[in-house]
Amino acid sequence: MQKLNIFIVDDASSIRRSLRGMLSKLNNINIFGEADSVESAKNFLLKNKPDLTLLDLNLPDGSGYDVLSFIKNNEHNHIVIVLTNYSAEQYKIKAVESGADYFFDKSTEFEKIIDVINSLITSY
């Protein structure tokens, strides 16, 4: 079985560390890369093609929506899971309309990404 390559985009190193810790317990995944800004995410995506991106909306040099649009407009045909503290319905609607496959609130749904990724691994 091929490994699922995961790219983490979040400006908080503690969140990236938590995600790495949670994901390291799963089989058949590879933390493919990390970024803490829109610019670093786009630079990574120009050179690499992850299977899945975990994406925060609040980044220091722009918005996660910028990264999401970049992914969906540049034939980076992979899954995007938005994981953010901006949980109001308008953020979710905009993310889904922009191409996000999943949308989770960091404060209440952090652990749900494990179930989603596990289901993706089995169907990958």
- pLDDT tens-digit readout, 43-59: 999 999 999 999 999 99
- CATH number for the domain formed by residue range(s) 4-123: 3.40.50.2300
Per-residue confidence (pLDDT) for residue 71, from 0 to 100: 95
What average pLDDT is seen over the chain?
93
Segment 91-115 mean pLDDT:
94
Which residues pair with residue 84 across a beta bridge? 105
Predicted pLDDT of residue 1: 61
Answer for the pair 4, 49: CB distance below 8 angstroms, yes or no.
Answer: no
